[in-house]
Copies of this chain bind each other. A is one copy, B any other.
Amino acid sequence: MFRASILSRQFHTSRSVWRTGPLTPLTSEKLSSLRRSNKFKQLEQRDIDFFRSVLPANNVIHDAESDPAKSSMTPYNADFFNLHRGASSLCLFPTATEQVSEILKYCNKEMLAVVPQGGNTGVSGGANPVFDEIIINTSKMNQIRSFNDISGVAVVDAGVILESLDNFLEPHGYTVPLDLGAKGSCQLGGNVSTNAGGLRLMRFGNLHGNVLGLEVVLPDGTILDNLSTLRKDNTGYDLKQLFIGAEGTLGLVTGVSLLTPRRPSSVNLAMLALDSFDDIQKAFVMAKEDLSEILSAFEFWDDASMNLVKKVTLPDATYPIEAKSKFYALLETQGSRQEHDQEKLDAYLSRVMEADVAHDGVIAQDAKQIQALWQWRETIPEAIVKSGTAMTYDVSMDVKLLYKMVEDAKKHYNDRGLLGDGNVYYNFLGFGHVGDGNLHIMANIKGFDYKVQKDMDRFVYDWAIKHKGSITAEHGVGVAKVGYMEECKSEPQLRLMRAIKHALDPRGIMNPYKVVPGVLEDV
Interface residues of A (CB under 8 A from B): 148-152, 173, 194-195, 197, 201-202, 205-206, 208-210, 218, 222-226, 228-239, 241-242, 244-246, 250, 262, 264, 281, 284-285, 288-294, 334-337, 340, 343-344, 396-400, 433, 435-438, 468-477, 481, 485, 488-490, 492-493, 495-497, 499-500, 502-504, 515-516
CA distance A222 to B492 in the complex (A): 7
A150 lies within 8 A of B285 (CB)? yes
A492 lies within 8 A of B224 (CB)? yes
B396 lies within 8 A of A233 (CB)? yes
- Residues on B with C-beta less than 8 A from A236 are 477, 485, 489, 493, 497, 515-516
Distance (whole angstroms) from the CB of A250 to the closest CB of chain B: 8
A234 lies within 8 A of B485 (CB)? no
Distance (whole angstroms) from the CB of A371 to the closest CB of chain B: 23
A235-B472, A285-B150, A398-B229 known; A292-B336 Cβ under 8 A: yes
Q: Which of B195, B223, B264, B344 contacts A234 (CB 8 A)?
A: B195
Distance (whole angstroms) from the CB of A379 to the closest CB of chain B: 22
B336 lies within 8 A of A230 (CB)? no
- Residues on B with C-beta less than 8 A from A194 are 234
B201 lies within 8 A of A232 (CB)? yes
Q: Which of B225, B235, B500 contacts A500 (CB 8 A)?
A: B500
Distance (whole angstroms) from the CB of A233 to the closest CB of chain B: 4
- Residues on B with C-beta less than 8 A from A150 are 281, 284-285, 399-400
A396 lies within 8 A of B232 (CB)? yes
CA distance A466 to B289 in the complex (A): 46
CA distance A194 to B208 in the complex (A): 16
B473 lies within 8 A of A233 (CB)? yes
Interface centre among A226, A503, A515 (most CB of B within 10 A): A503
Q: Which B residue sits closest to A281, measured CB to CB?
A: B150
A496 lies within 8 A of B239 (CB)? yes
A469 lies within 8 A of B230 (CB)? yes
CA distance A195 to B233 in the complex (A): 9
Q: Which of B201, B228, B343 contacts A340 (CB 8 A)?
A: B343
CA distance A343 to B340 in the complex (A): 9
Which 6 interchain pairs have the tightest Cβ spacing? Answer: A209-B209, A241-B241, A292-B336, A232-B473, A233-B470, A205-B209
CA distance A341 to B148 in the complex (A): 27
CA distance A150 to B488 in the complex (A): 25
CA distance A468 to B292 in the complex (A): 36
B239 lies within 8 A of A244 (CB)? no
B225 lies within 8 A of A490 (CB)? yes
A151-B437, A209-B206 known; A476-B340 Cβ under 8 A: no
